[in-house]
Amino acid sequence: MDIGCGSGNHLLLFYRLGLDVTGVDASPYMLDVARSRLGHKACLEIGRAEELPFEDNEFDIGTLINTLEFLDDPLAAIQEAGRVARDRVFLGVLNGLSPKCICRKCSALFTESIFKEARLFTIWGLRGFVKKTCGDVPMEWGSVVLVPSFLKRYGQGIEMAPSIQSYPFGVFLGLVFDLTYTLKTVNLKVTERLKEGAKSPIRRSGS
């Protein structure tokens, strides 16, 4: 499930990877755009990231890509993503330590830009949010660095290099965390339940 799916760019990518996809967004207009692009390839619902209209553990994976930056309560959104997903959650955000993002944020003070309303994150702040909402769960993160045009043909190889991905000043940060559970339920067959009941030391009166 892509939370804050917008016009459906990421849903289309996930669908092409062979996944069953669901998108949720607070904007009816953006959902109409996504619906025109995806048709019946995705299930689209209107809703707020901080209060998702889905059951617990309804999806395998939840994603928030360029969504947290524009929310009043990103903590609530991360907590909700952890609630409706059963395996893992991916967070993708603009980096507050990226020189390019900082320049765009500053220029937005004087011109109309989406960066004017955007909240920028650092990897340490993002990890702190996850720990506060979901506990001490396993996390991995990476960074995307824009490659100069003269290196474009080598771009993918450069971006995939471990030294580049661990660079905390890239334009885009990605963090994935696995969901862990402190309680586990075990469903027993009816026959097993009857056997367990027969072993009980408590007997009915008169027996």
| Helix, strand, or coil (residue 13) | helix
User: What pTM was estimated for this model as a whole?
Assistant: 0.78
- Asked whether 102 and 152 are in contact (CB, 8 A), the reply is no
**Per-residue pLDDT reduced to its tens digit, 88-105:** 999 999 998 888 888 888
Nearest of 34, 28, 27, 29 to residue 7 by alpha carbon: 34
Q: Could you tell me the residue ranges of all domains in the chain?
A: 48-198
Which of these, 143, 149, 148, lies nearest to 164 by C-alpha position?
Answer: 143
| Cβ proximity of 29 and 2 under 8 Å | no
48-198, CATH topology level = Rossmann fold (3.40.50)
User: Band of the pLDDT at 153, cuts 50, 70, 90?
Assistant: low
CA-atom Rg of the chain in angstroms: 22
